[in-house]
Amino acid sequence: MKSLLLVGLLFTSGAEARMPEPPRGLDLHMPLPEDNPVSREKVVLGRKLFFDKRLSRDGTLACATCHDPRRAFSDGRVVARGTGGAEGARNSPAIVNRGYGSAFFWDGRAPTLERQVLEPIFSQKELGLTRPELERRTGLGAAHVAAALASYVRTIHSGGSRFDRYLAGRRDALTETERQGLALFRGKGNCVSCHVGPNFTDEQFHNTGVAWRDGRYADDGRHAITQRAGDRGAFKTPTLREVARTAPYMHDGSLATLEDVVEFCSNGGRANPNLDAEIRRVNLTAEEKRAIVAFLQALTGSVREGWR
């Protein structure tokens, strides 16, 4: 009994024991849910499902239509377009390093990836299947589909950017201008008060005024989930990894370029009753704005996905 226990411990203590051949994107610090441990089988199945158009009502779309690997898993559209051309209200976010996330969707309504991934399948504005239809087409239970898709999404990883090399001690990995941009990002620009940590997001919700149009909120954002008045118009801070490849920007795709975003932030967002205190007019000069954009472009790295 004792020795069995010991063997058990030996095999579960090191992460290598759980993952003899680690999937490309997963690292040992990624939090994994106890009820959905990662496995090669699930990742391989999840990857297949992600690219499978049978997951849409009319067979024209897959997850990958809106989350295109060539665009760091975003789609280049202002707002997403689902089956039958139905337009959603929000921009398809890049899905890199989302295994580190703690809330999903722009308003954070899904607490786990397992809960997140079924929503687009059942949404009439996205893939538009019913649960029985999903189960019939895949021959799998919906929970199995969710476990597999979530496992695959966890392997989608961006890293190895010039910024990462700089952090690892290669000072010359960033140009002079990009280093200035980094200093401004951390200092005068105050970007790090929200875009913080290895993925440049605090995983929190902030009102920067994007949704404020003609004296009202075009999208309530976080408020729809919490019902707190102050959350009206607040959205999740997006990751900035690969951001040069994921235009257009913001939850509604309303800003076309990185220059537009930096201009917007430099002006302190758009005034409205719930504007976050951390987004304020910082009056960057034209040269400083260019430096920040250059720095953001240095966050492009390589995106890996799937099991090796």
| Residues in contact with ligand HEC by the rule CB under 6 A | 50, 55, 61, 63, 65-67, 80-82, 88, 90, 92-93, 95, 98, 101, 104-107, 113, 116-117, 120-121, 126-127, 149, 153, 189-191, 193-195, 206, 208, 210-211, 235, 237-238, 240, 243, 246, 249-251, 258, 261-262, 265, 276, 278-279, 292, 296
Question: What's the min distance (Å) between Cβ of 12 and ligand HEC?
Answer: 28
CB of 6 to ligand HEC, least distance (A): 39
Q: Which is nearer to ligand HEC, 82 or 301 (CB)?
A: 82
* Choice between 12 and 285, CB closer to ligand HEC: 285
Nearer to ligand HEC, 3 or 268 (CB): 268
Complex with ligand HEC: residue 17 or 216, whichever CB lies closer = 216
Decide if 30 contacts 150 (C-beta within 8 A).
Answer: no
Q: How far is the CB of 285 from ligand HEC (least distance, A)?
A: 13
Q: Please report how close the Cβ of residue 143 comes to ligand HEC at its closest, in angstroms.
A: 14
For ligand HEC, the closer of residues 41 and 172 by Cβ is 41
166 contact partners, CB below 8 Å, separation of at least 6: 173, 174, 179, 182, 298
Q: Give whichever of 48 and 308 is closer to ligand HEC, judged by the CB atom.
A: 48
Name 81's Cβ contacts closer than 8 Å, sequence gap at least 6.
Answer: 66, 87, 88
Residue 264 Cβ vs ligand HEC, minimum distance, rounded to whole Å: 8
The whole-angstrom separation of Cα 62 and Cα 51 is 5
Shortest reach from residue 227's CB to ligand HEC, in Å: 17
Peptide bond into 198 cis (omega under 30): no
Number of C-beta neighbours around residue 26 at 10 A: 19
Contacts of 18 (CB under 8 A, 6+ apart): 12, 37, 38
Six-digit token pair at 174?
């960033």
Question: Any residues with CB less than 8 A from the CB of 145 and at least 6 apart, and which?
Answer: 49, 117, 118, 121, 134, 138
